[in-house]
Amino acid sequence: MANMNMIQALNSAMDIMLGKDPSVILMGEDIGYFGGVFRATEGLQRKYGEHRVIDTPIAEGGIVATAIGMSINGLRPVAEIQFADYIYPGFDQIVSELARIRYRSAGDFFAPVTIRTPCGGGIRGGQTHSQSPEGIFTHVSGIKVVMPSNPFDAKGLLITCIEDDDPVIFFEPKRLYNGPFDGDPNKPAIPWSSHPKGQVDEGYYKVPLGKADIVRSGEALTIISYGTMVHVAVAAATAMNVDAEIIDLRSLVPLDVDTICSSVRKTGRCVVAHEATRFSGFGAEILSIIQEECFWDLEAPIQRVTGWDTPYPHAFEWEYFPGQARVKAALQSVMEPA
């Protein structure tokens, strides 16, 4: 066990997989010699060579497309898209190709590509360095979608994704790279070393997809979240001291419906929280499933806590971000007696 921040944990996962499996390669913009704009691949090119940790042209569509071709030729590419905001030029190759190759070839071909990309706000990145587009990809049949909330999960999930024979988009909440974040930008930043999930096994281990993590169990209500909002939810529930059960989905596709529904059946009250915009966001799918599965158990309408239905403005980052105030308001309203 060692203290790692999320960047170090991700780096460790890729280091281990490069060492373990000669078919694993890394590719992306500025990831090689430089080690990535967020340093996630630092030192790996020096260790494994320019031919396995490959700098690419600035062409997200070309990166995804060539990664697909490599995977058809027996490699397991891990492609970095520098910011999730820049994944859209690769959208056609992801939706029309990566997601469908196994299906359209009746399983004769498959593309084990992992796409890593930093998402979310909180670093004053403005509207083009803060997006959370995960919801869009959950609507695409054939792609798995993952988002960790801490270093331990990040490493174990990334190793699982690299070994998975299906394509995966692995979203990294960049605000969590250096430490947990409770939603209050005015508090001094705290490092992962102060958090239990900052204790990371240095060796090879996996965290399964489709298995949500019950961060905190409780009886009064259920909070379902993933990524940065897990920490905001914990802080808000603690501050209000409500006996909340807090679930970290970890993987959105596949989705751990059982854990979600058994919790809501128990509590009868539920808040769904994510940073992405509200309208047609992934929260809507979670809410819909609960409504369909647990209708008779619900004692109050499920509330969504989300970013607003606007781009993420540079000057109003904290008015946009769904912080503790927004979470608390939702907790209040689901606790109101019927």
Partner 1 sequence: MPRKSRLHLPHVPARPGEKPDFSYVQLSPAGAVPRPQVNARVKDVAPLSLELVRVLDDNADAVGPWHPHLDASELQVGLRHMMLTRIYDDRMQRMQRGGKISFYIRSLGEEAVSVAQGMALRPSDMLFPSYRNQGLHIVRGIPLVDMMCQLLSNSKDMCKGRQLPVMYHSRANNIFTISGNLATQFPQAVGWAMAAAIKGEDNLAATWMGEGSTAEADFHYALLFASVYQAPAILNVVNNQWAISTFQGYAGGEQRSFAARGPGYGMAGIRVDGNDFLAVYSVTQWAAERARTGGGPTLIEHVTYRGAAHSTSDDPARYRAKDDAEHWPLGDPILRLKAHLIKTGEWSEERHQALTAELEALVGSSWKQAVTFGTMSEGPKLNADLMFEDVFKDMPENLQRQQALMRKEQS
Active-site annotation holder among 51, 129, 195, 314: 129
20, 21, 109, 336: residue in contact with partner 1 (rule CB under 8 A) = 109
Q: Which is nearest to 175 in space by CA: 4, 61, 6, 3?
A: 6
Q: Are 261 and 214 in contact (CB under 8 A)?
A: no
Instruction: Say if strands 114-119 and 76-80 run parallel, antiparallel, or are unpaired.
Output: parallel
Given the structure tokens 């360095």, which residue do they identify? Answer: 129
Strands (E), 59-212: 76-80, 114-119, 144-146, 168-173, 199-200
3-class state of residue 122 by DSSP:
coil
Q: Which of 145, 176 has the CB closer to a second copy?
A: 145
| 72, 111 contact by CB (below 8 A) | yes
Measured from the CB atom, the residue of 96 and 193 that comes closer to partner 1 is 96
Of 227 and 323, the one with the shorter C-beta distance to partner 1 is 323
Q: Which of 20, 47, 103, 280 binds partner 1 (CB under 8 A)?
A: 103
Tokens 């947990």, residue located: 180
Q: Is 239 in the site for partner 1 (CB under 8 A)?
A: no
- Binding-site size for partner 1 (CB under 8 A) equals 82
Kindly state the tokens that stand for 83.
């910011």
Is 47 a binder of a second copy (CB under 8 A)? no
Query: Among ligand TPP, a second copy, partner 1, none, what binds residue 217 when CB lies within 5 to 8 Å by partner kind?
Result: none
Nearest-approach distance from CB 92 to ligand TPP, in angstroms: 7
- Options 136-144, 147-155, 196-204, 263-271: segment touching partner 1 (CB under 8 A): 136-144
User: Is position 62 an interface residue for a second copy (rule: CB under 8 A)?
Assistant: no
Strand order in the sheet with 53-55: 53-55, 24-28, 76-80, 114-119, 168-173, 144-146, 251-253
Which stretch, 163-171, 217-225, 260-268, 282-290, contacts a second copy (CB under 8 A)? Answer: 282-290
The residue (of 30 and 297) whose beta carbon lies closer to ligand TPP is 30
Active-site residue, 195 included: no
* 53/46 Cα distance (integer angstroms): 9
Q: How far is the CB of 82 from ligand TPP (least distance, A)?
A: 5
Find the helix packing angle between 151-163 and 6-20, rounded to 10°.
30
Q: In Å, how far are 212, 223, 263 from 269, measured between CA atoms? A: 18, 9, 9
Determine, following the binding rule CB under 8 A, whether residue 175 of this chain makes contact with partner 1: no
Q: Is residue 295 a contact residue for partner 1 (CB under 8 A)?
A: no
Among the listed residues 34, 301, 325, 329, the single contact to a second copy using CB under 8 A: 301
One-letter amino acid at 288 equals S
Strands 244-248 and 213-216: antiparallel
Residue 278 near residue 229, CB atoms below 8 Å = no
Q: Which residue's Cβ lies closest to ligand TPP?
A: 86
Taking CB under 8 A as the criterion, the residue among 280, 325, 329, 336 binding a second copy is 280
Do residues 93 and 64 touch, judged by C-beta distance below 8 A?
yes
Q: How far apart are CA 338 and CA 114, in angstroms?
A: 45
Query: Is residue 100 part of the contact set for a second copy (CB under 8 A)?
Result: yes
Of the pair 161, 302, the CB lying nearest a second copy is at: 302
Under a CB-based contact definition with an 8 Å cutoff, are residues 44 and 14 in contact? yes
Instruction: Identify the burial level of 291 via C-beta atoms within 10 angstroms of its C-beta, where 0-12 means exposed, 13-18 middle and 19 or more buried.
Output: middle
Residues that bind ligand TPP (CB under 6 A): 29, 58, 82, 86, 89
Residue from the set 64, 154, 209, 302 that interacts with a second copy by CB under 8 A: 302
Per CB under 8 A, the list member of 126, 220, 262, 266 interacting with partner 1 is 126
Task: Please give the positions annotated as active site.
Answer: 129
Which residues contact a second copy (rule: CB under 8 A)? Answer: 85, 88-89, 91-92, 95-96, 100, 103-104, 127-128, 135-136, 138-139, 141-142, 253, 276-277, 279-285, 287-288, 291-292, 295, 298, 300-304, 309-311
